[in-house]
Amino acid sequence: MHDESKNHPSGQKESPSIVDALEGETIKGLEATANHNARIEHYAQAKARSVGMADYIEHNVEMIDDVPKIHQALNTCGEYLVFRDYYTLGKIKLSGICSCKKHFLCPLCAIRRGGKAVKSYMDRLEVLMSMPENCDLRAYLITLTVKDGPDLWERFKHLHKSVKAYHQKRRHSKNGFRDGVEANKAHGAVWSYEVKKGKNSRQWHPHMHAIWLCSEPPEQSKLQEEWHAITGDSFIVDVTPFYTEPAKGFLEVFKYAVKFSDMSYADTWEVHKTLSGTRMVASFGCFRGVKVPEVMTDDLDEDLPYIEMFYKFVRGANYYAQKTDIQAMTG
- DSSP-derived secondary structure for 232-259: SS---EEEEE-TTSHHHHHHHHHTTTGG
Beta-carbon contacts of residue 207 (< 8 Å; ≥ 6 apart): 143, 144, 145, 146, 159, 193, 194
Identify whether the C-beta of residue 70 lies closer than 8 Å to the C-beta of residue 291: no
**pLDDT tens for each residue of 245-298:** 777 788 888 887 677 878 999 999 999 999 998 999 999 999 998 888 888 888
Who has greater pLDDT, 326 or 80? 80
Identify whether the C-beta of residue 230 lies closer than 8 Å to the C-beta of residue 131: no
Nearest to 56 by CA among 318, 319, 266, 313: 266
pTM of the model: 0.85
> What does the alpha-carbon distance between residue 107 and residue 262 come to, in Å, rounded to a whole number?
10
The beta-strand segments (E) located in the chain are 80-86, 91-97, 138-145, 186-197, 204-214, 237-241, 281-285, 306-314, 319-322, 328-329
* C-alpha distances in Å from residue 189, one per residue of 15, 16, 35, 78, 293: 31, 29, 32, 33, 19
Which is it for strands 328-329 and 306-314: parallel, antiparallel or unpaired?
antiparallel
> Which one of 10-24, 165-179, 216-230 scores highest in mean pLDDT?
216-230
| DSSP conformation class of 328 | E
Beta-carbon contacts of residue 216 (< 8 Å; ≥ 6 apart): 185
Q: Give the pLDDT confidence score for residue 8 in this predicted structure.
A: 36
Question: 85 has which bridge partners?
Answer: 92, 307
**pLDDT tens for each residue of 95-116:** 999 999 998 999 999 888 888 8
Q: Give the pLDDT confidence score for residue 296 in this predicted structure.
A: 85
3-state secondary structure 168-235: HHHHHHHCCCCCCCHHHHEEEEEEEEEEEECCCCCCEEEEEEEEEEECCCCCHHHHHHHHHHHHCCCC
Identify whether the C-beta of residue 219 lies closer than 8 Å to the C-beta of residue 237: no
**pLDDT tens for each residue of 187-212:** 999 999 999 998 889 999 999 999 99
> What does the alpha-carbon distance between residue 50 and residue 269 come to, in Å, rounded to a whole number?
12
